[in-house]
Structure 1
């Protein structure tokens, strides 16, 4: 708990003076003011995060947290639990979608076993297993409060290790069969109607969707999570990889590093992080909005605006890896585009 408390205390508001200086430079560039839209918003946010009005990206890294979920016993997923360790190996061997997109974006990947229900062995795997998967939240708490806290702190440790290694922009990724169910439960506890929140996840049919909704309602009734206590919510109806990603997000904010948020599960982690420390939202960049119906609601709850609408629902960090290209482009605009004065271009005159 001490590590978590120390991290939260370090999170400060972004540098508004740097935001203003970035905005002033953007207005001097050879274009109508505000005409590059979201690219300009990204520049200003990065300036505030880093304190540099002309921010530059260096080393990028996608942090994938992997964990299993006892609630799959209820039949809420179209895929069996053994897919989790199989996909972890796929990540480590470079064969998954996130590997392809990260290579294309020039980003590293790290994968952490924070709660896979079996042992996975690979020289590149970070093993910080809190427990072998969560318990079935439809029958009781997914994990203890101590385990939820430890999982958050694992995320902090992994992020800080990458930051110490020179990474200056992070992205969230995850793997865990059944993890749209706890993500939907978290959003429901924080105030959204369960029927509007729950999606088809890995591709369940109508019968499966009805079962998933019923399971989430049961889990909330059985555990009675306290929406004013985000760690209580996380421990009762959350997941180990969700907790780990919340830690990654909090660590990024504490170290003034931008954190690119991926899809539905990553945004559940972001929502928990925002409830632990609201100022952490200032460091989050929403990459895309997924096909999961609850994702848009999560982003709206945090007042985050996704830059991409790609009809994606894979997870892994894939949307965040795509967004790296947009973020890179924004920084190049700020650093390389000519000003009206340097280019000898006349400004518009207001009438």
Structure 2
């Protein structure tokens, strides 16, 4: 808990002076005012995050948190749960979707076993920070204890802090785990105050009972565990996931260290909502990459209050969307630095 509190205490507001200077320069560039749209907005945000109107985001990493979910036992997914333990070692080998995209965007990928059910071999290259072998079944009781929820957040903080200390300038969050749309939908249902049936989708594959059964499981878990909608840690512990806590920790650490953090899709947005509830100022450091076709994704983005950069009909997870938009952030840095102003070009307007 000490690490979490210390991290929260370091999160400040965006730097308004540098944001104003960045906006002024952008308005003076040899182009029609605001003609680069959201690229200009991102450049201003990055100036506020980094306290530098010429920010650099060349050193990029996606942190992928891997964990399993006890609620899988309720038949909410058609995929075998051992997919998690089979696929997680593929990240260090560069053989997953986010790895393929990161190869193009020039980003590194780090995989963390924060709660995979079963033991990975010791030589996989996956960072082992396992808290437990998946969450408990939230349909029978809390997914984890409050202490375990805090620990999951602090694991994310520790991993992010290490990467930032090694020079990372831009972070993205992603996840791996069967059953995590169930936990994410439960989190969103609690925070938005909506019936799970309105926001429950297929996920990576729906179980035999269909969407109605999945929604009923989520609704039952919420009614059984009674998570406090004003307490992010309570929600995480009652109906969340270890990988969701880990991603929330990465987000909070990035905000505390003034590093831009790119949120992936639906599950990552659930983690961002938890982080924002724990410390609202952390939202200012977030950039959301894309909106998933999951029914709850649009609601999650609206609740977070940050408009995603893309709509690509992607639902892979893993941080794939974050890796895909990294070049957009680099472009935002480039325009403010490399486009001449009218004065620099010797033009009078």
TM range (shorter): over 0.9
C-alpha RMSD of the superposition: 1.1
Instruction: For residue 42 of structure 1, report the CA deviation from its aligned partner.
Output: 0.4
Conservation of the 8 A alpha-carbon contact between 2:68 and 2:135: yes
In the alignment, what sits opposite 2:265?
A: 263
Match of 1:193 among 179, 184, 195: 195
**More divergent stretch after superposition (175-184 vs 87-96):** 87-96
Query: C-alpha displacement at 1:207, in angstroms?
Result: 4.0
What is the total number of aligned residue pairs between the two structures? 347
Do residues 323 (structure 1) and 321 (structure 2) align?
no
Map of 2:168 onto structure 1: 167
Q: Please state how far the C-alpha of 1:94 moved relative to its aligned partner.
A: 1.1
3-state DSSP of counterpart to 1:132:
coil
How far 1:206 sits from its partner (Å)?
A: 8.5
Deviates more, 1:42-51 or 1:223-232: 223-232
Provide the rounded CA distance (Å) in 1 between the counterparts of 2:293 and 2:82: 24
Residues 139-160 of structure 1 show CA distances to partners (whole Å, capped at 9, x for unaligned) of 1000000000011000000000
Of the structure 1 ranges 53-62 and 131-140, higher mean CA displacement relative to structure 2 is found in: 53-62
Match of 1:20?
20
TM-superposed deviation, 1:116: 0.2
Please, which moves more after superposition, 123-132 or 269-278? 123-132
After TM superposition, give the deviation of residue 198 of structure 1 in Å.
1.0
Separation in structure 1 between the aligned mates of residue 213 and residue 194 of structure 2, nearest angstrom: 18
Q: Which residue of 2 aligns with 1:127?
A: 128
Tell me the distance in 1 between the aligned counterparts of 2:296 and 2:112: 26
Inter-partner Cα distance in structure 1 for 2:84 and 2:348: 58
Secondary structure at the counterpart of residue 335 of structure 1: helix
In the superposition, the TM-score normalised over structure 1's length comes to 0.97
Match in the other structure for 2:213: 211
In 1, the alpha carbon distance for the partners of 2:62 and 2:30 equals: 34
SS of 2:344's partner is helix
Q: Secondary structure at the match of 1:173?
A: strand
CA 1:147 to 1:79, structure 2 compared with 1: closer, same or farther past 3 Å?
same
User: Using the alignment, how far apart are the partners of 2:340 and 2:208 within structure 1?
Assistant: 55
In terms of mean alpha carbon deviation, does 242-251 or 207-216 score higher? Answer: 207-216
Q: How much does 1:193 deviate? A: 3.0
Give the Cα–Cα distance (whole angstroms) in 1 for the partners of residues 204 and 147 of structure 2. 30
- Structure 2 residue 120 is the aligned partner of structure 1 residue 148: no
1:54-203 → structure 2 map (5 Å cutoff) = 54-121=54-121, 122-190=123-191, 191-203=193-205
Q: Quick one: distance in 1 between partners of 2:152 and 2:112?
A: 11
Deviation at 1:196, TM superposition (A): 2.1
Q: Which residue of 1 aligns with 2:279?
A: 277
CA distance in 1, matches of 2:56, 2:161: 20
Residue matched to 2:3: 3
Aligned with residue 228 of structure 2, among 226, 229, 246? 226
Return the alpha-carbon distance in structure 2 between the equivalents of residues 212 and 286 of structure 1.
Answer: 27
The aligned counterpart of 1:238 is: 240
> How far off is 1:204 after superposition?
2.2
Q: Matched residues in 2 for 1:134 and 1:331: separation? A: 40
CA shift at 1:345, angstroms? 3.8
The runs of 5 or more residues in structure 2 that have no matched partner are none
Confirm whether residue 305 of structure 1 aligns to residue 307 of structure 2: yes
In structure 2, what is the Cα distance between the partners aligned to 1:6 and 1:174?
A: 25
Hey, what's the Cα distance between the residues in 2 that align with 1:215 and 1:338?
57
TM-score w.r.t. length of structure 2: 0.97
1:288-303 map, 5 Å = 288-303=290-305
- Counterpart CA distance in 1 for 2:167 and 2:67 is 27
Q: In structure 2, the residue corresponding to 1:92 is in which secondary structure?
A: coil
